[in-house]
Structures are given as structure tokens and as C-alpha cells.
Structure 1
Amino acid sequence: MDSAVLEGLLIAIKDAVSGNRGEDDVVLPPFDPDKNDNGAESWCNNIDTIAKDRGWSSITTVSKAGKTLKGSALLWFETWDPDE
């Protein structure tokens, strides 16, 4: 294989990998109201701060935050209708 082609391929792979890491390398704090006394407002403020720092859209933020919910918060999220 031509070294210029190989170098171009490696650069493309590096750019693709580093471009995808931005949103996915953050671990959001879990929220379980049945086990956590910090409260929903504090947790939401943490999520909002992280989302703002990362430049997430509201859809991305809700999607990622929803994956961290446990217990009754997860039950609420699964039945939540944003149009209500």
C-alpha cells in the first residue's frame, strides 16, 4: 500500500475517533430520588452545567440524562409526555 494513502487513512481514522469522543466521554451523575437526598434541582443544575459546557442540544441533554435515572425517577421519565 502506498505510504501517502496509508497516512491519509490514519489521519481520517484519528479525526473520526477524536470527533466522536466529545459527547460520549462524559459520565453524568446518576439520579435516584429514593436513595439520594441531594434533590432533583441540584441534579438538574449539574446536568444543565455539563450540557452547556459540552454544547449539547436539549434533545441530546434529555436523552443522555434519561439514561442516568433510577427508581421512581426512571418510572416518571418512561411515562413522561413533553407535550403535557
Structure 2
Amino acid sequence: MRGMNSAIRAVAHIVAGILVIWIFMDLLGASRGNTLVTWFHSAADWLADWSRGLFTVSDHALQVVLDYGIPAVVYVVIGNLAARRAAN
């Protein structure tokens, strides 16, 4: 079960990493015309679809952090809980 535990945590952290990378790309003004930026934006939108717009604020930077940061934290927490449960 140790391998399953590690796999679950790895997937959760990769998913959260995609969201965090998108947050930085957006806040730093990465070119939306770039293929890599487009991929991260699409992936982050899909992963955070359930939480985008959960809170509405007027500041763009805070909105991006809320829209994509909340699901990043949720995925890591759920992934770690699932990995712990799989280990037992």
C-alpha cells in the first residue's frame, strides 16, 4: 500500500502545482498567446471549475488567488487524507 499512498499524494501535489503555476503566470502577465500558457490556463480552468466565482472581489490578483488557490489547497488536503486512509 505504500506505493498507492505515494501515488495519491503525487497526483494531488501535481494538480495543485498546475493551479499554482497558473496563478503565477496570470499574476506575472504571461502571454496568453503562448502554447504553454494556454495549456496551463485550460488545465487550471478545468481543475478549478467548481470553485471559480465562489467569492467575488474587485481586485484581480485576489480573485485569481481565490479562484485557483482554494482548489489547490483542497486537492492537497483531500489527497493527503486519501493517502493516509489508503495506508491503513
**What is the TM-score of this pair, normalised by structure 1?**
0.35
- Rg larger for: 1
Q: When you count helix as a share of all residues, which structure comes out higher?
A: 2
The higher-RCO structure (CA 8 Å, 6+ apart) is 2
